[in-house]
Amino acid sequence: MSKHSKGIHLFRRRRRDDLLERSFVPCGGCSQPVYVFAEQCRSCGDAVEVRAS
């Protein structure tokens, strides 16, 4: 018999959360990725809106 049972699973695995993906938002002016805590975009200089999730 294998180490892992193939029975009913009560707790399903959650989708992997990628912190790096959530740390960047697209700039409204040039669509380049901008760090969530940045005040302005490095590419075009537009101000970045603070978003609550």
Residue 6 lies in a domain: no
Q: What's the confidence (pLDDT) of residue 8?
A: 72
Average confidence (pLDDT) over 35-42: 92
* Domain membership flag for residue 48: yes
| Mean of pLDDT values over 25-49 | 92
At 3 the pLDDT is: 60
Whether 13 is in a domain gets the answer no
In this predicted structure, what is the pLDDT of residue 9? 67
* Nearest partner of 49 among 20, 27, 33, judged by Cα: 27
Report the alpha-carbon distance of residue 49 to residue 38 in Å, rounded.
Answer: 9
Q: Give residue 4's pLDDT band: very low, low, confident or very high (50, 70, 90).
A: low
Average pLDDT over residues 18-31: 89
Domain around 41: 18-53
Instruction: Please check whether residue 29 lies inside any domain of the structure.
Output: yes
DSSP 35: E
Structural domain total, the chain = 1
